[in-house]
Amino acid sequence: MKVLVTAKRVTDPDMKIKVKADGSGIELSGMSYKINPFDEIAIEEAIRIKEQSGGEVIVASIGGDEAQTEIRTGLAMGADRGILVKTDGDVDSDAVARVLVKLVEKERPDLVIMGKQAVDLDDNQVPQLLAGYLGWGQACFASKLQINGNTATVAREVDGGIETLEIDLPGIISADLRLNEPRYPTLPGIMKAKKKPLDTIHPADLDVDITPKVVVKGFSNPPERKGGRIVADVPELLKALKDEAGAF
């Protein structure tokens, strides 16, 4: 089975984000980066499928040259080859989906697995957009995945229980947090990853216009929280919640 997975380069979610003084963006100096955690789960699941039934795992990323690091991480985990679609600057979700459409048409995978969302923007749009453009079935927020021939059975957590879906392949699956526990790349895997093929192409090579449809006009910090205070009794607490906090 041929599986295409994504590996977005994101800022480390454990680091504190600061807005630039002019509000034009996020202050990136001194920031560390890593592979999007949900994409890492998707890569792990793709590798497990390959280990069970054979095939090929392709890791794709869209971004600058720095994104090769995240692709190499996927290769070190056990993926077979990588594709970097090189861009200058950020691209919105629609552009990402249209680039992936062209990669799918070129590679013809049996399955596309990606993280349900990226932890930097939290848009949760690309899997659905990609499925819509391709006309493929989709199963989002997968917490369990089973491949059965030309179908995929997906369990996902919903309010009050587990929902089980079955889709025909080829299809799109987005990975949720509990799908698996990603492996750590071993030293031999890291060394092998350096020799695995990683192709670099550009959106123009795929005949995709990545002009954003969504333009961010500015950034600002949320209002600072006011300090708490001590109340004498429950009636005073309720009054403060109603009049000051607007809780009800």
pLDDT at 29: 80
Rounded CA-CA distance 157/185 in Å is 29
pTM of the model: 0.86
pLDDT at 103: 97
pLDDT at 27: 82
Rounded CA-CA distance 129/98 in Å is 8
Rounded CA-CA distance 135/102 in Å is 13
Among 74, 70, 86, 53, residue whose Cα is nearest residue 169: 53
Rounded CA-CA distance 172/159 in Å is 22
pLDDT at 214: 82
Q: Which tens digit of pLDDT belongs to each residue from 124-140? A: 999 999 999 999 999 99
> Would you state the structure tokens that stand for residue 189, as one six-digit string?
């895997």
Among 67, 68, 113, residue whose Cα is nearest residue 90: 67
Structural domain boundaries of the chain?
2-243
pLDDT at 44: 97
Strand-by-strand arrangement of the 2-6 sheet? 137-142, 171-175, 111-115, 2-6, 56-63, 81-86, 198-201
Q: Which tens digit of pLDDT belongs to each residue from 54-95? A: 999 999 999 999 999 999 999 999 999 999 999 988 889 999
Residue segments in the chain with a per-residue pLDDT below the cut of 50: none
pLDDT at 49: 96
**CATH architecture of the domain formed by 2-243:** 3-Layer(aba) Sandwich (3.40)
Beta pairing class for 2-6 and 56-63: parallel
pLDDT at 209: 93
pLDDT at 144: 96
